Amino acid sequence: MMNPRLFPVSILLTALLLVGPALRAHEATEAMVAAASDFLNNLEPEKRAKAMFELKDAERTNWHYIPTTRNGLPIKEMREDQQHLACALLSTGLSHRGYTQALTVMSLEQVLWELENHSEKRNPEGYFVSIFGNPATDKIWAWRFEGHHLSINFTIANGEVVASTPNFYGANPGFIKEGPRKGLRVLAAEEDQARAFVKSLDEAQRKVAIIDATAPKDVLTLDKPKVEALEPKGIMASSLTAEQQKALHGIIEIYVTRLRPSLAEADMKKIDAAGFDKIQFAWAGGLEMGQGQYYRIQGPTFLFEYANVQNDAYHPHAVWREFDGDFGEDVLRKHFAQFHDASGGDKVPAQTAAK
For residues 101 and 258, the answer to whether their CB atoms sit within 8 Å is yes
Helix H segments across the chain?
9-17, 25-41, 45-51, 80-93, 96-115, 188-200, 203-209, 242-256, 261-273, 310-313, 329-339, 350-353
Q: Read off the pLDDT of residues 215-268 as tens digits, 9 standing for 90 and up.
A: 999 999 999 999 999 999 999 999 999 999 999 999 999 999 999 999 999 999
Q: What is the pTM of this model?
A: 0.89
* pLDDT at residue 333, as a whole number: 78
Is the alpha carbon torsion for 254, 259, 261, 262 positive or negative?
A: negative
| Distance in angstroms (rounded) separating the CA atoms of residues 317 and 174 | 9
Q: Read off the pLDDT of residues 283-333 as tens digits, 9 standing for 90 and up.
A: 999 999 999 999 999 999 999 999 999 999 999 999 999 999 999 988 787
Domain ranges across the chain: 9-165, 188-324
Maximum Cα–Cα distance for the chain, whole Å? 75
HSE-CB of 319 using CA atoms within 13 angstroms: 28
Cα–Cα–Cα angle for 169, 130, 67, nearest 5°?
A: 45
